[in-house]
C-alpha cells in the first residue's frame, strides 16, 4: 500500500540521520534566494537605464 496515514513514516532531521550541511542548509538556501532577488532588482534597474 502506498502513502499511509498522516504522520506516518520516518522522523525529520537529525533524528532520522538526515543531516544537512554545506550548500543545502536552510541558511545557505535562504542566502542564495536573497542574492537572486538582489540580482533580479539590479537587472531591472539596468534595463530601465538602457
Model pLDDT, residue 9: 76
What is this structure's pTM? 0.60
pLDDT at 44 over 70: yes
Question: Contact 32/39 with Cβ under 8 angstroms?
Answer: no
| pLDDT of 45 strictly over 80 | yes
- pLDDT recorded at residue 2: 64
pLDDT of 29 reads 93
- The pLDDT confidence band at residue 16, using thresholds 50, 70 and 90, is confident
C-alpha cell belonging to residue 29: 538556501
Amino acid at each position: 500500500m502506498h502513502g499511509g496515514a498522516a504522520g506516518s513514516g520516518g522522523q525529520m532531521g537529525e533524528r532520522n540521520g538526515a543531516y544537512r550541511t554545506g550548500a543545502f542548509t536552510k541558511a545557505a538556501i535562504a542566502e542564495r534566494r536573497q542574492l537572486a532577488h538582489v540580482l533580479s532588482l539590479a537587472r531591472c534597474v539596468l534595463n530601465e537605464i538602457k
